Structure 1
Amino acid sequence: MTDDMSSRRLHAMTSTAGYGEAAASLVKQYESVTFNEVHREVLHLLPTRPVAVLDVGAGSGRDAAALAALGHHVVAAEPTAELRTLGQDIHAGKKIEWTDDALPALAGLSRQGRRFGLIMLTAVWMHLDEQERPSAMAGLVRLLDDGGRMLLSLRHGPVPTGRRMFAVSAAETIALAGEHGLKAVHHAEREDPHGREGVTWTYLCLE
């Protein structure tokens, strides 16, 4: 298959491709590491008082549950029904508001006019292609409260079979955020918390 054909096939896939079929194993993977382990680079940037938090692509709800335990009001936006159902079961009783919503539009939350003091995008941004990322950033900025922060992680490395991911650099993301009035106040690189060969991460805090 030529590079052009591979690119067209990748763009034709949905951003959530492969997640529903692998939901059970993915939830086990997500829950095998703690919120503090995954987000150690940005823990010091979390709000010190309770705020409204949006966890975009919440997956198993691991992060949403940890943030709710800190006293935040958390909205977990997860478009994959299988992940959402498992997450609700695992974290039943936690003060999490689950919703079926997704980038680039986050149409449901946008219609409601919701605003958030913290927006989390963990292993989400690289699922959007170059046409989707500008509109997604604009929409996220509209959902961000005055003085709010966005914590975003980018995955780099081999793309798992059946998934849709694009090579997105920190520089591109910071520049795009700047076009929408955000600045990067933190930038860190780290190894994969799951120990996968060839996988690294970028962590950004935008405000």
Structure 2
Amino acid sequence: MSTDIYQQRASVFFEQYESVTSEQVHAFWLAELNKRDRGVALDVGAGSGRDAKFLAEKGWQVIAVEPSDNLRQLACESATISQVDSTASYHPISWYADSLPALASVKALNQRYDLVLLSAVLMHLSPIEQYQSLTNLSELLIPGGLLVMTLRHGVFTDGRVSYPVDVDALLTLSAALNLKLLLQSQLVTDQLGRNDVRWQTIVLTKD
């Protein structure tokens, strides 16, 4: 996956991502998140750090991965954690330059995760890279852990490369990897008002 456009327009994308809240973007599965004990989360393609900060403020220990150096720098500078929950223990967000499908730096940590978040990432990967990514991510989950993917349906008009995401094929592969479907949303409209874009959320759990 090329990060050139994210390097060149980092501030534009940063402002765009920060214009909507994590509560808005992830409303579909937040009830499931809130039922779970705080643990270690991996945010892949963390962008502006919005979701990493959201999880950290809930008391999760967060590893955030973003391949764009410029976007990651903006995220690091802005992701100051507010201690909003007196019952939580707070951890600084750990940032890494890494990318799917390999996630070599993340794998080198020898860490397993209670939650893996992949928000608006998979469509940047070719079909074979999508399958490779899912395989690698499944290995990083603890039994009972959650893999949450928000999937973008609709082409880009700003030069970013995208590929279709075949949800049925994705779920077939997931089952083969012992990832059980927990939640699947319908297609929903875009939070930024783009009429040609729809979103879908898939939540898997590892058996």
- TM-score relative to the length of structure 1: 0.89
Q: CA shift at 1:181, angstroms?
A: 1.2
Contact 1:17 1:163 in 2 (8 A): no
Determine the C-alpha separation between the residues in 2 that align with 1:42 and 1:93. Answer: 22
Alignment match, 1:11: none
| One-letter amino acid matched to 2:189 | E
Contact 2:131 2:170 in 1 (8 A): no
Q: 1:91 aligns with which of 79, 85, 88?
A: 79
Q: Deviations over 1:62-96 (max 9, x none)?
A: 00000000000001100100110000111145721
Contact 1:17 1:164 in 2 (8 A): no
Q: 1:126 aligned to 2:113?
A: no
- SS of 2:6 mapped into structure 1: coil
Alignment match, 1:79: 67
Alignment match, 1:186: 183
Contact 1:15 1:128 in 2 (8 A): no
Determine the C-alpha separation between the residues in 2 that align with 1:35 and 1:147. Answer: 23
Alignment match, 2:201: 203
Percent identity over the alignment is: 38
**How many residues are treated as equivalent by the alignment?**
194
Contact 2:189 2:195 in 1 (8 A): no
Alignment match, 2:18: 31
| Misfit runs of 4+, over 4 Å | none
Contact 2:101 2:129 in 1 (8 A): yes
Q: CA shift at 1:16, angstroms?
A: 2.8
Q: 1:149 aligns with which of 130, 141, 146?
A: 146
After superposition, the CA RMSD in angstroms is 1.3
Unaligned runs of 5+ in 1: 1-13
Q: CA shift at 1:160, angstroms?
A: 2.9
- TM-score relative to the length of structure 2: 0.89
Unaligned runs of 5+ in 2: 83-91
